[in-house]
């Protein structure tokens, strides 16, 4: 039976917490035999998802919460980043490279998350929030699988 471990954290939707989220999740993920490069990719996935929650989900409102749930199962790492904000009206459009609802943003967050994970799912309901689920294995020879809801 594969060893299993779980981390759940919830924090205020402040941009200052972005670094905390990156480091906390990477430290947790380092229990798996990831390379330094793979840990950097995990940090980018966390940064992009949390930043999307703060910037787009909550329109930079500091009074909301972002939740991260990470699970290690053997050499597999599963990550969920969830907000309870405005949600995404059109997920396919949001996933297009360079699309952003903010002129100050590059619109590459989902592109980076997708390229650094083996599995990505975006579950979003307008006015209820968004959950991004990502998976990565230390044995990086698995096929990529992307789902949108």
Catalytic position from the list 22, 52, 76, 118:
52
Greater confidence (61 vs 144) lies with: 61
Give the whole-angstrom CA distance, residue 79 versus residue 117: 10
Residue 10 pLDDT: 98
pLDDT of residue 141: 43
Interval 103-134: pLDDT, tens:
665 556 788 899 999 999 999 999 999 999 99
What's the rounded mean pLDDT across residues 129-149? 73
Residue from 40, 69, 105, 121 carrying the catalytic annotation: 105
Residue 130, beta-bridge partner list: 83, 124
Assess contact for 82 and 36: CB atoms under 8 A.
no
Spot the catalytic one: 22, 38, 41, 48: 48
pLDDT tens per residue, range 89-106: 887 877 776 555 556 655
Tell me the pLDDT tens digit for each residue of 8-59. Answer: 999 999 999 999 999 999 999 999 999 999 999 999 999 999 999 999 999 9
Identify the pLDDT of residue 142: 47
Has 105 been annotated as catalytic? yes
* pLDDT score at 104: 64
Cβ partners under 8 Å of residue 105, min gap 6? 55
Q: How far apart are CA 100 and CA 123, in angstroms?
A: 18
């Amino acid at each position: 039976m594969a060893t299993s471990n779980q981390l759940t954290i919830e924090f205020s939707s402040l941009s200052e917490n972005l670094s905390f989220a990156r480091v906390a999740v990477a430290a947790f993920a380092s229990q798996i035999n990831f390379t330094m490069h793979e840990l950097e990719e995990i940090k980018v996935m966390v940064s992009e998802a949390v930043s999307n929650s703060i910037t787009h989900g909550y329109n930079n409102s500091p009074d909301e919460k972002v939740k991260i749930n990470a699970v290690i199962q053997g050499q597999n790492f599963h990550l969920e980043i969830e907000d309870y904000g405005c949600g995404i009206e059109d997920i396919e459009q949001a996933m297009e490279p360079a699309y952003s609802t903010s002129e100050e943003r590059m619109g590459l967050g989902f592109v980076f998350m997708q390229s650094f994970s083996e599995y990505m799912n975006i579950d979003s309901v307008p006015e209820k929030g968004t959950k991004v689920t990502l998976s990565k294995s230390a044995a990086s020879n698995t096929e990529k699988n992307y789902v949108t809801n």
